[in-house]
Structure 1
Protein backbone atom coordinates (compact mmCIF):
# COMPACT_ATOMS: atom_id res chain seq x y z
CA UNK A 1 0.00 0.00 0.00
CA UNK A 2 1.43 3.36 -1.03
CA UNK A 3 2.27 5.96 1.57
CA UNK A 4 0.74 9.45 1.56
CA UNK A 5 3.03 11.91 -0.28
CA UNK A 6 3.98 13.68 2.96
CA UNK A 7 5.27 10.39 4.39
CA UNK A 8 7.42 9.57 1.38
CA UNK A 9 10.94 10.76 2.18
CA UNK A 10 13.49 12.63 0.15
CA UNK A 11 16.31 10.11 0.05
CA UNK A 12 19.92 11.31 -0.07
CA UNK A 13 22.72 8.86 -0.75
CA UNK A 14 26.03 9.96 0.76
CA UNK A 15 29.28 8.13 0.06
CA UNK A 16 31.82 10.63 1.37
CA UNK A 17 31.62 12.70 4.58
CA UNK A 18 33.17 15.65 2.75
CA UNK A 19 30.14 15.85 0.43
CA UNK A 20 27.48 15.33 3.05
CA UNK A 21 26.63 18.97 3.73
CA UNK A 22 26.11 19.89 0.09
CA UNK A 23 23.80 16.98 -0.70
CA UNK A 24 21.89 17.02 2.59
CA UNK A 25 21.25 20.74 2.19
CA UNK A 26 19.55 20.18 -1.17
CA UNK A 27 17.56 17.22 0.18
CA UNK A 28 16.50 19.36 3.13
CA UNK A 29 15.29 22.12 0.84
CA UNK A 30 13.17 19.63 -1.11
CA UNK A 31 11.73 18.06 2.04
CA UNK A 32 10.95 21.45 3.59
CA UNK A 33 8.93 22.44 0.54
CA UNK A 34 6.30 19.79 1.36
CA UNK A 35 6.88 19.36 5.12
CA UNK A 36 8.54 16.05 4.39
CA UNK A 37 11.35 13.93 5.80
CA UNK A 38 14.98 13.51 4.75
CA UNK A 39 16.29 9.98 4.86
CA UNK A 40 20.07 9.65 4.64
CA UNK A 41 21.45 6.32 3.46
CA UNK A 42 24.98 4.99 3.32
CA UNK A 43 25.75 1.72 1.57
CA UNK A 44 28.18 -0.92 2.81
CA UNK A 45 29.05 -3.14 -0.14
CA UNK A 46 29.20 -6.91 0.34
CA UNK A 47 30.42 -8.43 -2.95
CA UNK A 48 29.28 -11.97 -3.59
CA UNK A 49 32.88 -13.22 -3.75
CA UNK A 50 33.90 -11.44 -0.54
CA UNK A 51 34.50 -13.34 2.72
CA UNK A 52 31.94 -10.94 4.20
CA UNK A 53 29.26 -12.73 2.17
CA UNK A 54 29.32 -15.37 4.94
CA UNK A 55 28.10 -12.82 7.48
CA UNK A 56 24.55 -11.61 7.91
CA UNK A 57 23.77 -8.02 6.99
CA UNK A 58 23.08 -7.28 10.65
CA UNK A 59 26.55 -8.53 11.65
CA UNK A 60 28.23 -6.45 8.97
CA UNK A 61 26.36 -3.31 10.03
CA UNK A 62 27.19 -3.92 13.68
CA UNK A 63 30.83 -5.03 13.40
CA UNK A 64 32.15 -4.16 9.92
CA UNK A 65 30.36 -1.03 8.70
CA UNK A 66 33.48 0.53 7.17
CA UNK A 67 33.10 4.31 7.08
CA UNK A 68 29.30 4.20 6.78
CA UNK A 69 28.75 5.31 10.36
CA UNK A 70 31.19 8.19 9.97
CA UNK A 71 29.35 9.25 6.82
CA UNK A 72 25.97 9.16 8.55
CA UNK A 73 27.25 10.98 11.64
CA UNK A 74 28.62 13.77 9.47
CA UNK A 75 25.45 13.95 7.38
CA UNK A 76 23.22 14.15 10.46
CA UNK A 77 25.50 16.76 12.00
CA UNK A 78 25.09 19.12 9.03
CA UNK A 79 21.38 18.41 8.39
CA UNK A 80 19.00 21.38 8.78
CA UNK A 81 17.42 21.67 12.22
CA UNK A 82 13.92 22.38 10.92
CA UNK A 83 13.59 19.16 8.90
CA UNK A 84 13.01 15.68 10.28
CA UNK A 85 16.02 13.49 9.47
CA UNK A 86 16.28 9.71 9.48
CA UNK A 87 19.35 7.62 8.66
CA UNK A 88 20.19 4.06 7.73
CA UNK A 89 23.15 1.87 6.81
CA UNK A 90 22.28 -0.70 4.15
CA UNK A 91 24.28 -3.74 3.06
CA UNK A 92 24.09 -4.61 -0.63
CA UNK A 93 26.00 -6.28 -3.45
CA UNK A 94 26.63 -2.87 -4.98
CA UNK A 95 25.99 0.78 -4.26
CA UNK A 96 23.36 0.86 -7.01
CA UNK A 97 21.52 -2.16 -5.60
CA UNK A 98 21.56 -0.63 -2.12
CA UNK A 99 20.23 2.74 -3.21
CA UNK A 100 17.60 1.18 -5.47
CA UNK A 101 16.44 -1.02 -2.60
CA UNK A 102 16.27 1.98 -0.26
CA UNK A 103 14.18 3.92 -2.79
CA UNK A 104 11.75 1.04 -3.19
CA UNK A 105 11.39 0.17 0.48
CA UNK A 106 10.86 3.76 1.58
CA UNK A 107 8.73 4.71 -1.45
CA UNK A 108 10.95 7.76 -1.77
CA UNK A 109 9.50 10.63 -3.75
CA UNK A 110 12.93 11.94 -4.65
CA UNK A 111 16.58 10.89 -4.59
CA UNK A 112 19.53 13.28 -4.31
CA UNK A 113 22.97 12.01 -5.33
CA UNK A 114 26.32 13.59 -6.11
CA UNK A 115 28.14 13.69 -9.42
CA UNK A 116 31.82 14.45 -9.88
CA UNK A 117 32.66 15.55 -13.41
CA UNK A 118 35.21 13.45 -15.27
CA UNK A 119 37.76 14.71 -17.72
CA UNK A 120 38.19 13.03 -21.07
CA UNK A 121 35.89 10.79 -23.04
CA UNK A 122 34.15 7.89 -21.37
CA UNK A 123 31.09 5.77 -21.97
CA UNK A 124 29.79 6.80 -18.56
CA UNK A 125 27.79 10.02 -18.64
CA UNK A 126 27.77 10.87 -14.94
CA UNK A 127 29.79 7.95 -13.63
CA UNK A 128 28.78 4.31 -13.73
CA UNK A 129 26.81 4.36 -10.48
CA UNK A 130 24.79 7.47 -11.31
CA UNK A 131 24.15 6.28 -14.87
CA UNK A 132 22.52 3.13 -13.50
CA UNK A 133 20.45 5.12 -11.02
CA UNK A 134 19.21 7.32 -13.86
CA UNK A 135 17.91 4.21 -15.59
CA UNK A 136 16.53 2.39 -12.56
CA UNK A 137 15.14 4.50 -9.71
CA UNK A 138 11.38 5.13 -10.07
CA UNK A 139 11.33 8.51 -8.32
CA UNK A 140 12.42 12.02 -9.21
CA UNK A 141 16.22 12.10 -9.36
CA UNK A 142 18.44 15.10 -8.62
CA UNK A 143 22.10 14.82 -9.55
CA UNK A 144 24.21 17.59 -8.05
CA UNK A 145 27.74 18.38 -9.11
CA UNK A 146 30.03 17.79 -6.17
CA UNK A 147 32.55 20.35 -5.02
CA UNK A 148 31.00 23.45 -6.57
CA UNK A 149 28.86 25.01 -3.84
CA UNK A 150 27.19 28.38 -4.00
CA UNK A 151 28.36 30.79 -1.30
CA UNK A 152 24.87 32.10 -0.73
CA UNK A 153 22.09 31.92 -3.30
CA UNK A 154 20.46 35.03 -4.70
CA UNK A 155 19.55 33.84 -8.18
CA UNK A 156 18.79 30.52 -9.86
CA UNK A 157 18.88 30.03 -13.64
CA UNK A 158 16.36 27.59 -15.09
CA UNK A 159 16.94 27.13 -18.86
CA UNK A 160 13.94 25.40 -20.44
CA UNK A 161 13.09 23.72 -23.72
CA UNK A 162 10.09 21.60 -22.81
CA UNK A 163 10.00 17.93 -21.91
CA UNK A 164 8.87 15.82 -18.94
CA UNK A 165 11.67 16.91 -16.61
CA UNK A 166 10.57 20.53 -16.25
CA UNK A 167 8.45 19.57 -13.22
CA UNK A 168 11.26 18.26 -10.98
CA UNK A 169 13.56 21.04 -12.18
CA UNK A 170 10.96 23.61 -11.14
CA UNK A 171 10.52 21.90 -7.76
CA UNK A 172 14.17 21.92 -6.79
CA UNK A 173 14.60 25.48 -8.07
CA UNK A 174 11.61 26.54 -5.95
CA UNK A 175 12.87 24.64 -2.91
CA UNK A 176 16.29 26.28 -3.05
CA UNK A 177 14.81 29.72 -3.76
CA UNK A 178 12.37 29.45 -0.84
CA UNK A 179 15.15 28.61 1.60
CA UNK A 180 17.44 31.39 0.40
CA UNK A 181 14.91 34.10 -0.55
CA UNK A 182 16.30 33.86 -4.07
CA UNK A 183 14.84 34.64 -7.49
CA UNK A 184 14.29 32.02 -10.20
CA UNK A 185 15.09 33.19 -13.70
CA UNK A 186 13.45 31.13 -16.45
CA UNK A 187 15.28 31.33 -19.77
CA UNK A 188 14.29 30.05 -23.18
CA UNK A 189 16.26 30.78 -26.32
CA UNK A 190 14.55 31.41 -29.65
CA UNK A 191 16.74 30.59 -32.67
CA UNK A 192 16.93 33.57 -35.00
CA UNK A 193 15.65 31.56 -37.95
CA UNK A 194 12.64 29.94 -36.22
CA UNK A 195 10.76 32.64 -34.34
CA UNK A 196 9.80 32.67 -30.68
CA UNK A 197 6.55 30.65 -30.59
CA UNK A 198 8.16 27.47 -29.21
CA UNK A 199 10.21 29.46 -26.71
CA UNK A 200 7.04 31.13 -25.42
CA UNK A 201 5.43 27.70 -24.98
CA UNK A 202 8.45 26.44 -23.03
CA UNK A 203 8.39 29.47 -20.74
CA UNK A 204 4.65 29.10 -20.13
CA UNK A 205 5.13 25.42 -19.27
CA UNK A 206 7.91 26.29 -16.82
CA UNK A 207 5.87 29.09 -15.22
CA UNK A 208 3.00 26.65 -14.64
CA UNK A 209 5.40 24.10 -13.14
CA UNK A 210 6.75 26.77 -10.79
CA UNK A 211 3.21 27.72 -9.74
CA UNK A 212 2.53 24.07 -8.93
CA UNK A 213 5.81 23.56 -7.08
CA UNK A 214 4.39 24.51 -3.71
CA UNK A 215 5.57 27.99 -2.69
CA UNK A 216 3.76 30.98 -4.16
CA UNK A 217 6.04 33.47 -2.39
CA UNK A 218 9.10 32.67 -4.51
CA UNK A 219 10.04 35.43 -6.93
CA UNK A 220 10.29 34.44 -10.58
CA UNK A 221 11.14 36.18 -13.79
CA UNK A 222 11.06 34.92 -17.36
CA UNK A 223 12.89 35.94 -20.46
CA UNK A 224 13.06 34.86 -24.06
CA UNK A 225 16.25 35.69 -25.86
CA UNK A 226 16.99 35.38 -29.52
CA UNK A 227 20.30 33.90 -30.50
CA UNK A 228 21.98 32.16 -33.39
CA UNK A 229 23.95 30.04 -30.91
CA UNK A 230 21.69 28.87 -28.11
CA UNK A 231 24.52 27.65 -25.92
CA UNK A 232 26.30 31.00 -26.10
CA UNK A 233 23.22 32.70 -24.66
CA UNK A 234 22.99 30.21 -21.79
CA UNK A 235 26.71 30.49 -21.02
CA UNK A 236 26.52 34.27 -20.94
CA UNK A 237 23.54 34.23 -18.59
CA UNK A 238 24.91 31.44 -16.39
CA UNK A 239 27.59 33.70 -14.94
CA UNK A 240 24.89 36.01 -13.57
CA UNK A 241 23.45 33.29 -11.31
CA UNK A 242 24.48 31.17 -8.33
CA UNK A 243 22.76 27.89 -9.17
CA UNK A 244 21.99 26.30 -12.54
CA UNK A 245 19.13 23.80 -12.75
CA UNK A 246 18.69 21.70 -15.88
CA UNK A 247 16.12 19.11 -16.86
CA UNK A 248 16.79 16.83 -19.80
CA UNK A 249 14.88 18.00 -22.85
CA UNK A 250 12.88 16.68 -25.75
CA UNK A 251 14.53 16.76 -29.16
CA UNK A 252 14.55 20.42 -30.06
CA UNK A 253 16.80 23.21 -31.23
CA UNK A 254 17.99 23.75 -27.65
CA UNK A 255 18.63 20.03 -27.16
CA UNK A 256 20.73 19.81 -30.32
CA UNK A 257 22.67 22.94 -29.43
CA UNK A 258 23.44 21.58 -25.98
CA UNK A 259 25.17 18.50 -27.34
CA UNK A 260 28.86 18.85 -26.53
CA UNK A 261 28.65 22.54 -25.66
CA UNK A 262 27.16 22.41 -22.18
CA UNK A 263 29.98 20.38 -20.59
CA UNK A 264 32.70 22.52 -22.14
CA UNK A 265 31.11 25.94 -21.97
CA UNK A 266 29.00 25.73 -18.80
CA UNK A 267 29.71 22.80 -16.50
CA UNK A 268 33.48 22.83 -16.90
CA UNK A 269 33.93 26.59 -17.05
CA UNK A 270 31.78 27.81 -14.18
CA UNK A 271 31.94 27.55 -10.42
CA UNK A 272 28.19 27.52 -9.90
CA UNK A 273 26.23 24.72 -8.34
CA UNK A 274 24.74 22.57 -11.12
CA UNK A 275 21.77 20.24 -10.60
CA UNK A 276 20.49 17.89 -13.29
CA UNK A 277 16.90 16.66 -12.90
CA UNK A 278 15.09 13.58 -14.17
CA UNK A 279 11.39 12.91 -13.60
CA UNK A 280 10.47 9.62 -11.96
CA UNK A 281 7.59 8.94 -14.32
CA UNK A 282 10.00 9.11 -17.27
CA UNK A 283 12.25 6.32 -16.02
CA UNK A 284 10.93 3.87 -18.61
CA UNK A 285 11.89 6.16 -21.46
CA UNK A 286 15.25 6.65 -23.19
CA UNK A 287 16.47 8.92 -20.39
CA UNK A 288 20.08 7.80 -20.32
CA UNK A 289 20.45 8.32 -24.05
CA UNK A 290 19.10 11.85 -23.65
CA UNK A 291 21.55 12.54 -20.84
CA UNK A 292 24.43 11.20 -22.90
CA UNK A 293 23.51 13.53 -25.75
CA UNK A 294 22.98 16.33 -23.24
CA UNK A 295 26.35 16.06 -21.54
CA UNK A 296 28.92 14.44 -23.81
CA UNK A 297 30.78 15.94 -26.75
CA UNK A 298 29.80 14.49 -30.10
Structure 2
Protein backbone atom coordinates (compact mmCIF):
# COMPACT_ATOMS: atom_id res chain seq x y z
CA UNK A 1 0.00 0.00 0.00
CA UNK A 2 1.35 3.42 -0.85
CA UNK A 3 1.71 5.58 2.27
CA UNK A 4 2.86 8.83 0.62
CA UNK A 5 -0.22 11.04 0.27
CA UNK A 6 -0.77 14.57 -0.97
CA UNK A 7 -2.90 17.02 0.98
CA UNK A 8 -6.61 16.69 0.23
CA UNK A 9 -8.45 19.96 -0.45
CA UNK A 10 -12.24 19.49 -0.67
CA UNK A 11 -12.89 22.94 -2.14
CA UNK A 12 -10.72 22.08 -5.13
CA UNK A 13 -12.24 18.67 -5.79
CA UNK A 14 -15.80 19.92 -6.29
CA UNK A 15 -15.76 23.29 -7.92
CA UNK A 16 -19.15 24.87 -8.78
CA UNK A 17 -20.38 24.75 -12.37
CA UNK A 18 -19.39 28.35 -12.96
CA UNK A 19 -18.40 31.57 -11.26
CA UNK A 20 -21.00 32.51 -8.68
CA UNK A 21 -23.04 29.35 -9.31
CA UNK A 22 -24.81 28.07 -6.17
CA UNK A 23 -23.88 24.56 -5.06
CA UNK A 24 -27.35 23.09 -5.26
CA UNK A 25 -27.54 19.31 -5.22
CA UNK A 26 -30.54 18.24 -7.31
CA UNK A 27 -31.71 14.64 -6.91
CA UNK A 28 -34.09 13.23 -9.54
CA UNK A 29 -36.14 10.37 -8.12
CA UNK A 30 -38.44 7.86 -9.75
CA UNK A 31 -40.61 5.34 -7.92
CA UNK A 32 -37.92 2.66 -7.71
CA UNK A 33 -37.00 0.61 -4.66
CA UNK A 34 -33.53 2.17 -4.55
CA UNK A 35 -34.76 5.69 -3.80
CA UNK A 36 -33.68 5.72 -0.14
CA UNK A 37 -30.20 4.56 -1.14
CA UNK A 38 -29.93 7.34 -3.74
CA UNK A 39 -31.10 10.01 -1.28
CA UNK A 40 -28.58 8.79 1.29
CA UNK A 41 -25.64 9.05 -1.13
CA UNK A 42 -26.82 12.43 -2.43
CA UNK A 43 -27.09 13.77 1.12
CA UNK A 44 -23.57 12.51 1.83
CA UNK A 45 -22.31 14.37 -1.23
CA UNK A 46 -24.19 17.55 -0.33
CA UNK A 47 -22.82 17.45 3.20
CA UNK A 48 -19.26 17.06 1.90
CA UNK A 49 -19.35 19.83 -0.68
CA UNK A 50 -21.97 22.16 0.82
CA UNK A 51 -25.16 23.51 -0.69
CA UNK A 52 -28.87 22.83 -0.61
CA UNK A 53 -30.29 19.35 -1.21
CA UNK A 54 -33.32 19.43 -3.53
CA UNK A 55 -35.31 16.22 -4.07
CA UNK A 56 -37.29 16.25 -7.33
CA UNK A 57 -39.82 13.45 -7.65
CA UNK A 58 -40.30 12.87 -11.38
CA UNK A 59 -43.38 11.60 -13.22
CA UNK A 60 -43.49 10.78 -16.92
CA UNK A 61 -46.58 12.13 -18.69
CA UNK A 62 -47.70 10.55 -21.92
CA UNK A 63 -48.82 12.74 -24.79
CA UNK A 64 -52.40 13.95 -24.43
CA UNK A 65 -52.59 13.53 -20.65
CA UNK A 66 -55.36 15.86 -19.32
CA UNK A 67 -54.17 18.82 -17.27
CA UNK A 68 -56.21 17.70 -14.26
CA UNK A 69 -54.48 14.32 -14.28
CA UNK A 70 -51.06 15.95 -14.66
CA UNK A 71 -51.78 18.17 -11.65
CA UNK A 72 -52.78 15.10 -9.65
CA UNK A 73 -49.51 13.44 -10.60
CA UNK A 74 -47.64 16.50 -9.35
CA UNK A 75 -49.41 16.44 -5.99
CA UNK A 76 -48.69 12.75 -5.55
CA UNK A 77 -45.02 13.14 -6.52
CA UNK A 78 -44.54 16.17 -4.27
CA UNK A 79 -45.75 14.12 -1.32
CA UNK A 80 -43.35 11.31 -2.29
CA UNK A 81 -40.49 13.81 -2.32
CA UNK A 82 -41.46 15.06 1.13
CA UNK A 83 -41.47 11.49 2.45
CA UNK A 84 -38.04 10.92 0.93
CA UNK A 85 -36.74 13.96 2.80
CA UNK A 86 -37.56 12.23 6.08
CA UNK A 87 -34.94 9.56 5.27
CA UNK A 88 -32.10 12.13 5.22
CA UNK A 89 -29.73 11.70 8.14
CA UNK A 90 -30.78 14.32 10.69
CA UNK A 91 -27.20 14.69 11.91
CA UNK A 92 -26.23 16.31 8.60
CA UNK A 93 -26.35 20.09 8.53
CA UNK A 94 -28.29 20.44 5.29
CA UNK A 95 -30.87 22.76 3.82
CA UNK A 96 -33.45 20.60 2.05
CA UNK A 97 -36.37 21.12 -0.29
CA UNK A 98 -38.97 18.83 -1.90
CA UNK A 99 -40.25 19.37 -5.44
CA UNK A 100 -42.12 17.51 -8.16
CA UNK A 101 -41.95 17.79 -11.93
CA UNK A 102 -43.82 16.15 -14.80
CA UNK A 103 -42.27 15.68 -18.23
CA UNK A 104 -42.20 13.46 -21.29
CA UNK A 105 -39.24 11.40 -20.00
CA UNK A 106 -36.83 11.26 -17.07
CA UNK A 107 -33.84 12.70 -18.91
CA UNK A 108 -35.83 15.78 -19.96
CA UNK A 109 -37.04 16.30 -16.40
CA UNK A 110 -33.47 16.00 -15.10
CA UNK A 111 -32.11 18.50 -17.63
CA UNK A 112 -34.86 21.00 -16.97
CA UNK A 113 -34.49 20.65 -13.19
CA UNK A 114 -30.75 21.24 -13.54
CA UNK A 115 -31.38 24.53 -15.30
CA UNK A 116 -34.28 25.60 -13.07
CA UNK A 117 -32.36 25.13 -9.82
CA UNK A 118 -28.91 26.16 -11.18
CA UNK A 119 -27.53 22.80 -10.07
CA UNK A 120 -23.91 22.20 -9.20
CA UNK A 121 -24.59 18.46 -9.38
CA UNK A 122 -27.49 16.29 -10.54
CA UNK A 123 -27.94 12.90 -8.91
CA UNK A 124 -30.13 10.44 -10.82
CA UNK A 125 -31.87 7.46 -9.25
CA UNK A 126 -31.27 4.82 -11.93
CA UNK A 127 -34.10 2.49 -10.94
CA UNK A 128 -35.74 -0.03 -13.25
CA UNK A 129 -38.44 2.50 -14.13
CA UNK A 130 -35.80 4.75 -15.70
CA UNK A 131 -35.41 2.67 -18.83
CA UNK A 132 -32.43 2.96 -21.14
CA UNK A 133 -32.42 3.38 -24.89
CA UNK A 134 -31.85 0.57 -27.35
CA UNK A 135 -28.14 1.49 -27.30
CA UNK A 136 -27.92 0.97 -23.54
CA UNK A 137 -27.53 4.64 -22.69
CA UNK A 138 -28.77 5.42 -19.20
CA UNK A 139 -30.70 8.49 -18.11
CA UNK A 140 -27.53 9.88 -16.54
CA UNK A 141 -25.61 9.40 -19.80
CA UNK A 142 -28.26 11.26 -21.79
CA UNK A 143 -28.33 14.04 -19.21
CA UNK A 144 -24.55 14.31 -18.90
CA UNK A 145 -24.00 15.55 -22.42
CA UNK A 146 -26.46 18.42 -22.05
CA UNK A 147 -25.95 20.00 -18.63
CA UNK A 148 -23.20 22.17 -17.17
CA UNK A 149 -22.76 20.39 -13.85
CA UNK A 150 -21.54 17.12 -12.38
CA UNK A 151 -23.81 14.12 -12.99
CA UNK A 152 -23.98 11.13 -10.66
CA UNK A 153 -26.15 8.05 -11.08
CA UNK A 154 -26.98 5.50 -8.40
CA UNK A 155 -28.24 2.08 -9.45
CA UNK A 156 -27.40 -1.59 -9.41
CA UNK A 157 -28.80 -4.68 -7.75
CA UNK A 158 -27.69 -4.23 -4.14
CA UNK A 159 -30.15 -2.27 -1.98
CA UNK A 160 -28.70 -2.70 1.50
CA UNK A 161 -28.34 0.55 3.43
CA UNK A 162 -25.18 -0.80 5.11
CA UNK A 163 -21.93 0.20 3.37
CA UNK A 164 -18.71 -1.34 4.69
CA UNK A 165 -16.67 -1.74 1.50
CA UNK A 166 -16.29 0.17 -1.77
CA UNK A 167 -14.69 -1.05 -5.01
CA UNK A 168 -13.14 1.66 -7.22
CA UNK A 169 -11.85 0.41 -10.59
CA UNK A 170 -9.36 3.08 -11.69
CA UNK A 171 -7.81 4.03 -15.02
CA UNK A 172 -7.09 7.17 -17.00
CA UNK A 173 -10.64 8.07 -17.99
CA UNK A 174 -11.79 11.72 -17.95
CA UNK A 175 -13.87 11.26 -14.79
CA UNK A 176 -11.56 8.97 -12.83
CA UNK A 177 -10.59 11.63 -10.30
CA UNK A 178 -14.20 12.43 -9.54
CA UNK A 179 -14.89 8.72 -9.00
CA UNK A 180 -12.16 8.53 -6.34
CA UNK A 181 -13.54 11.66 -4.65
CA UNK A 182 -17.06 10.23 -4.53
CA UNK A 183 -15.78 6.95 -3.09
CA UNK A 184 -14.06 8.84 -0.29
CA UNK A 185 -17.19 10.84 0.57
CA UNK A 186 -19.21 7.62 0.90
CA UNK A 187 -16.45 5.82 2.82
CA UNK A 188 -16.08 8.61 5.35
CA UNK A 189 -19.84 8.80 5.92
CA UNK A 190 -20.29 5.06 6.49
CA UNK A 191 -16.90 4.15 7.97
CA UNK A 192 -16.17 1.94 4.94
CA UNK A 193 -12.88 0.89 3.41
CA UNK A 194 -11.91 1.40 -0.25
CA UNK A 195 -10.33 -1.06 -2.67
CA UNK A 196 -8.53 0.57 -5.63
CA UNK A 197 -8.49 -1.88 -8.53
CA UNK A 198 -6.88 -1.78 -11.96
CA UNK A 199 -7.42 -4.62 -14.41
CA UNK A 200 -4.57 -5.57 -16.76
CA UNK A 201 -5.20 -8.00 -19.66
CA UNK A 202 -3.25 -11.21 -19.21
CA UNK A 203 -1.45 -10.74 -22.53
CA UNK A 204 -0.11 -7.26 -21.76
CA UNK A 205 3.60 -6.51 -21.27
CA UNK A 206 5.58 -4.82 -18.49
CA UNK A 207 4.58 -1.37 -19.73
CA UNK A 208 0.93 -2.11 -19.02
CA UNK A 209 1.83 -3.13 -15.48
CA UNK A 210 3.88 0.05 -15.06
CA UNK A 211 0.88 2.10 -16.20
CA UNK A 212 -1.32 0.17 -13.76
CA UNK A 213 0.98 1.14 -10.91
CA UNK A 214 0.77 4.79 -11.98
CA UNK A 215 -3.03 4.69 -11.95
CA UNK A 216 -3.16 3.07 -8.53
CA UNK A 217 -0.58 5.49 -7.10
CA UNK A 218 -2.42 8.52 -8.50
CA UNK A 219 -5.74 7.31 -7.06
CA UNK A 220 -4.12 6.60 -3.70
CA UNK A 221 -2.62 10.08 -3.55
CA UNK A 222 -5.96 11.58 -4.54
CA UNK A 223 -7.43 10.08 -1.37
CA UNK A 224 -5.09 12.26 0.68
CA UNK A 225 -5.07 11.36 4.38
CA UNK A 226 -7.78 8.70 4.03
CA UNK A 227 -6.05 5.50 5.16
CA UNK A 228 -8.69 2.73 5.03
CA UNK A 229 -7.65 1.69 1.53
CA UNK A 230 -6.19 -1.34 -0.23
CA UNK A 231 -4.69 -1.50 -3.71
CA UNK A 232 -4.86 -4.32 -6.23
CA UNK A 233 -3.66 -4.91 -9.78
CA UNK A 234 -5.58 -7.84 -11.24
CA UNK A 235 -4.73 -9.80 -14.40
CA UNK A 236 -7.84 -10.92 -16.29
CA UNK A 237 -8.86 -11.70 -19.86
CA UNK A 238 -11.91 -9.45 -19.73
CA UNK A 239 -12.07 -6.34 -17.53
CA UNK A 240 -15.87 -6.19 -17.51
CA UNK A 241 -16.21 -9.76 -16.26
CA UNK A 242 -13.48 -9.19 -13.69
CA UNK A 243 -15.12 -6.08 -12.24
CA UNK A 244 -18.57 -7.67 -12.17
CA UNK A 245 -17.16 -10.78 -10.50
CA UNK A 246 -15.34 -8.73 -7.85
CA UNK A 247 -18.39 -6.54 -7.20
CA UNK A 248 -20.05 -9.36 -5.27
CA UNK A 249 -17.52 -8.86 -2.47
CA UNK A 250 -18.27 -5.14 -2.02
CA UNK A 251 -21.32 -3.08 -1.12
CA UNK A 252 -20.68 -0.27 -3.61
CA UNK A 253 -18.80 0.00 -6.91
CA UNK A 254 -17.86 3.53 -8.06
CA UNK A 255 -17.00 4.14 -11.72
CA UNK A 256 -16.18 7.09 -13.95
CA UNK A 257 -18.74 7.47 -16.74
CA UNK A 258 -17.78 6.94 -20.39
CA UNK A 259 -16.79 9.97 -22.45
CA UNK A 260 -19.87 11.64 -23.92
CA UNK A 261 -20.91 11.29 -27.54
CA UNK A 262 -19.57 7.77 -27.76
CA UNK A 263 -21.99 4.84 -28.06
CA UNK A 264 -19.46 2.42 -26.70
CA UNK A 265 -16.76 4.31 -24.78
CA UNK A 266 -14.61 1.84 -22.89
CA UNK A 267 -13.54 2.12 -19.26
CA UNK A 268 -10.19 0.25 -19.56
CA UNK A 269 -11.84 -2.49 -21.59
CA UNK A 270 -15.32 -2.42 -20.09
CA UNK A 271 -18.29 -0.09 -20.29
CA UNK A 272 -20.03 1.51 -17.37
CA UNK A 273 -23.37 0.31 -18.72
CA UNK A 274 -22.18 -3.32 -18.72
CA UNK A 275 -21.00 -3.11 -15.13
CA UNK A 276 -24.11 -1.26 -13.96
CA UNK A 277 -26.45 -3.87 -15.39
CA UNK A 278 -24.53 -6.92 -14.19
CA UNK A 279 -22.79 -5.94 -10.93
CA UNK A 280 -23.83 -7.55 -7.66
CA UNK A 281 -23.38 -4.29 -5.74
CA UNK A 282 -24.78 -0.76 -5.79
CA UNK A 283 -23.16 1.03 -8.75
CA UNK A 284 -22.37 4.74 -8.58
CA UNK A 285 -21.37 6.33 -11.89
CA UNK A 286 -19.87 9.85 -11.94
CA UNK A 287 -19.33 12.36 -14.74
CA UNK A 288 -18.01 15.91 -14.98
CA UNK A 289 -19.17 17.15 -18.42
CA UNK A 290 -16.69 19.30 -20.36
CA UNK A 291 -14.32 19.40 -17.38
CA UNK A 292 -11.78 16.59 -17.53
CA UNK A 293 -10.76 15.18 -14.19
CA UNK A 294 -8.40 12.36 -15.10
CA UNK A 295 -6.24 10.91 -12.35
CA UNK A 296 -3.02 11.09 -14.33
CA UNK A 297 -3.81 14.50 -15.82
CA UNK A 298 -3.89 16.03 -12.33
CA UNK A 299 -1.16 13.78 -10.94
CA UNK A 300 1.41 14.65 -13.61
Q: What range describes the TM-score normalised by the shorter chain of this pair?
A: 0.7 to 0.9
CA distance in 2, matches of 1:126, 1:39: 25
Count of aligned positions? 265
Matching residue of 1:101: 112
Instruction: Name which of 242, 250, 270 aligns with 1:258.
Output: 270
CA distance in 2, matches of 1:231, 1:28: 30
- Give the C-alpha shift of residue 50 in structure 1: 4.1
Matching residue of 1:36: 51
CA distance in 2, matches of 1:232, 1:147: 16
Instruction: Name which of 28, 32, 42 aligns with 1:27.
Output: 42
Ranges in structure 1 where 5+ consecutive residues have no aligned partner: 284-298
- Residues 130-182 of structure 1 show CA distances to partners (whole Å, capped at 9, x for unaligned) of 44213322222111115522342111010012111112211221111011111
The 5-angstrom pairing of residues 1-298 of structure 1 reads 4=20, 7-16=22-31, 18-44=33-59, 49-52=64-67, 65-81=74-90, 82=92, 83-92=94-103, 94-116=105-127, 123-127=134-138, 129-145=139-155, 148-192=158-202, 193-195=204-206, 196-211=209-224, 216-217=225-226, 219-248=228-257, 255=267, 257-258=269-270, 263=274, 267=276, 270-281=279-290
- Give the C-alpha shift of residue 12 in structure 1: 0.6
CA distance in 1, matches of 2:76, 2:278: 33
Ranges in structure 2 where 5+ consecutive residues have no aligned partner: 1-16, 293-300
CA distance in 2, matches of 1:160, 1:26: 20
Q: Provide the alpha-carbon RMSD of the alignment.
A: 3.5
CA distance in 1, matches of 2:133, 2:106: 20
Identify, as 1 or 2, the structure richer in helix.
Answer: 1
Q: TM-score, normalised by structure 1?
A: 0.74
Aligned partners of 2:144 and 2:289 also within 8 Å: no
Aligned partners of 1:12 and 1:111 also within 8 Å: yes
Aligned partners of 1:15 and 1:71 also within 8 Å: no
Give the SS at the match of 2:290.
Answer: helix
